[in-house]
């Protein structure tokens, strides 16, 4: 019970902190027509130290997906996307439908419920042949392609999850 109370208090504090932050309505980092330098400068100026640190760490789908039942752990999802927000590992031997469902849940949460809404990279051990169908995925591949300026290809799966394939990897 003590953990639940602490987690609830933290969630309320984070939510309240985001409400006092500037509007993102005209944020340059969300404008694909702005220069890369302008987008990066704008994004970095808006990020807290914790958000910057989070972008350096990789999460794991098992932080919010129960490997036995496929159930979603909302608290785990919120923690993982807040503390390890740059990417998450999905190379878990569970039904593909569970992986897809939980990738979508995470990307939806990140883009709709977090202040900055930066999609996470989704990765697995594709180079080693484990779950090789998905090498690197993002919910909005076009945005990543615009920012990086790379010529990449992406596939759209039946559930509308997009998978980005770097040149030479796919």
Residue 9 has pLDDT above 50, yes or no: no
Structural domains of the chain, count: 1
Whether 158 is in a domain gets the answer yes
Mean pLDDT, rounded, for 82-87? 92
**Looking at the domain assignment, is residue 42 inside a domain?**
yes
Residue 80 lies in a domain: yes
Tell whether 13 is covered by a domain.
no
How does the average pLDDT of the chain come out, rounded? 75
Q: How far apart are CA 87 and CA 65, in angstroms?
A: 15
Q: Which residue has the higher pLDDT, 158 or 80?
A: 80
Average pLDDT on 143-150 reads 46
- The label of the residue with tokens 């794991």 reads 60
Confidence check: pLDDT of 51 > 60: yes
Q: Is residue 49 predicted with pLDDT exceeding 80?
A: yes
pLDDT score, position 161:
54
Q: How far is CA 16 from the centre of its chain?
A: 22
In a domain, 139, yes or no: yes
Question: What confidence category does residue 95 fall into, taking pLDDT thresholds of 50, 70 and 90?
Answer: confident
Mean pLDDT, residues 122-149 taken together: 49
Residue 81, domain extent: 26-165
- At 55, the pLDDT band (50, 70, 90 cuts) reads very high
pLDDT of residue 143: 45
Q: Give CA–CA dist 152/156, Å, rounded.
A: 13
Mean pLDDT of 119-129: 70
Per-residue confidence (pLDDT) for residue 94, from 0 to 100: 87
Q: Please indicate, yes or no, if residue 21 is contained in any of the structural domains.
A: no
HSE on the CB side for 148, CA within 13 Å?
A: 13
Query: Does residue 31 carry a pLDDT above 70?
Result: yes
Confidence of residue 93 (pLDDT cuts 50, 70, 90): confident
């Amino acid at each position: 019970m003590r953990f639940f109370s602490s987690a609830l208090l933290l969630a309320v504090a984070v939510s309240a902190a985001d409400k006092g932050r500037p509007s993102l309505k005209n944020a340059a980092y969300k404008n694909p027509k702005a220069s890369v330098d302008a987008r990066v400068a704008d994004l970095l100026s808006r990020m807290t130290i914790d958000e910057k640190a989070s972008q350096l760490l990789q999460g794991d789908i098992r932080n919010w997906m129960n490997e036995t039942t496929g159930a979603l752990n909302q608290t785990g999802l919120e923690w993982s996307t807040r503390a390890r927000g740059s990417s998450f590992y999905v190379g878990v031997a569970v039904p593909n439908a569970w992986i897809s469902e939980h990738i979508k849940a995470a990307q939806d949460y990140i883009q709709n419920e977090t202040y900055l809404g930066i999609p996470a990279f989704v990765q697995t051990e594709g180079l080693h042949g484990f779950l090789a169908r998905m090498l690197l995925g993002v919910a909005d591949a076009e945005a990543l392609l615009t920012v990086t300026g790379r010529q990449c290809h992406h596939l759209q799966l039946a559930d509308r999850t997009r998978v980005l394939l770097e040149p030479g990897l796919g």
